[in-house]
């Protein structure tokens, strides 16, 4: 491990972040601070500083006198996820088209190259992390201090849900991922052209592509109550 404390803190940050996104650290699990301190050669103060940063981004929950824990995924979390995802994705895409820089376009294309490489020869973990990075860049492009925290939390849970249900041997899922990669290319082109309308539609299309599979995971076959409906609520 590098002797530079900053480098060790960055390594810890990236390690915990990846472990949360890929479910190596499951929702609600406690972090072993002693083991992490030893692994990354960090004392308690810089370790907790990294944890605070991760908590601020939605990866961890910090509990007084009880240590750090991976953020939960409850029924309410999933319900809020489905309600907010289309709105947040759409707003981020539109703002990305307005505010993007040339350097960010290059970063987005690089993330897409990594995603396609993961589809060809990477693991499910590689795919999830590369896809997450692609969308992180769109959030950076949007450059909105109010929207970005919500978008970051959305990406965390989207990655975790996807890691839970994704099966590469499933033909429908494999086709969906291939189509998602093609949509990424369209997103890059629309953002580069500053085409807000196209970005808004692509956000909807991209969300709908994964929504069906997520709904099947959340609402198993045989339960025909529409996702988001309240038990006993009247329908028109």
What is 75-218's CATH topology? Answer: 1.20.120
Give the burial class of 212: count Cβ atoms within 10 A of its Cβ; 0-12 exposed, 13-18 middle, 19 or more buried.
Answer: exposed
pLDDT at site 175: 79
Between helices 196-218 and 75-99, what is the axis angle to 10°? Answer: 160
What are the residue boundaries of the structural domains of the chain, listed by start? Answer: 5-70, 75-218
pLDDT at site 78: 84
What is the C-alpha separation between 157 and 21, in angstroms, rounded? Answer: 8
Question: Measured in Å, how far apart are the chain's first and last C-alpha atoms?
Answer: 62
pLDDT at site 167: 58
- Any idea which residue has 């093609």 for tokens? 182
Q: What is the CATH number of domain 5-70?
A: 1.10.10.10
From first to last of its 236 residues, the chain has per-residue pLDDT tens of 556 778 999 999 999 999 999 999 999 999 999 999 999 999 999 999 999 999 999 999 998 878 899 999 888 888 899 889 999 999 999 999 999 999 999 999 999 999 999 999 988 899 999 999 999 999 999 999 999 999 999 999 999 988 876 655 555 666 788 899 999 999 999 999 999 999 999 999 999 888 876 776 665 554 444 545 555 555 54
């Amino acid at each position: 491990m590098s002797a530079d404390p900053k480098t060790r803190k960055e390594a810890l940050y990236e390690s915990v972040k990846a472990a949360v996104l890929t479910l190596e650290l499951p929702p609600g699990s406690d972090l072993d601070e002693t083991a992490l301190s030893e692994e990354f050669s960090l004392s308690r103060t810089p370790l907790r500083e990294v944890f605070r940063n991760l908590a601020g981004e939605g990866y961890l929950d910090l509990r007084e006198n009880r240590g750090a824990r991976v953020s939960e995924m409850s029924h309410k979390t999933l319900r809020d996820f489905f309600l907010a995802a289309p709105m947040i994705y759409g707003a981020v895409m539109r703002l990305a088209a307005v505010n993007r820089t040339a350097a960010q376009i290059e970063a987005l294309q690089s993330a897409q190259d990594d995603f396609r490489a993961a589809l060809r020869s990477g693991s499910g973990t590689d795919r999830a992390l590369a896809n997450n990075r692609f969308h992180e860049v769109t959030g950076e492009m949007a450059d909105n201090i109010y929207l970005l925290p919500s978008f970051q939390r959305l990406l965390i849970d989207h990655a975790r849900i996807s890691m839970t249900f994704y099966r590469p041997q499933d033909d429908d899922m494999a086709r969906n991922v291939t189509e998602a990669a093609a949509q990424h290319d369209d997103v890059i082109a629309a953002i580069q052209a500053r085409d807000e309308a196209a970005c808004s539609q692509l956000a909807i299309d991209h969300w709908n592509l994964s929504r069906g599979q997520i709904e099947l995971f959340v609402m198993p076959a045989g339960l025909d109550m529409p996702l988001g409906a309240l038990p006993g609520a009247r329908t028109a």
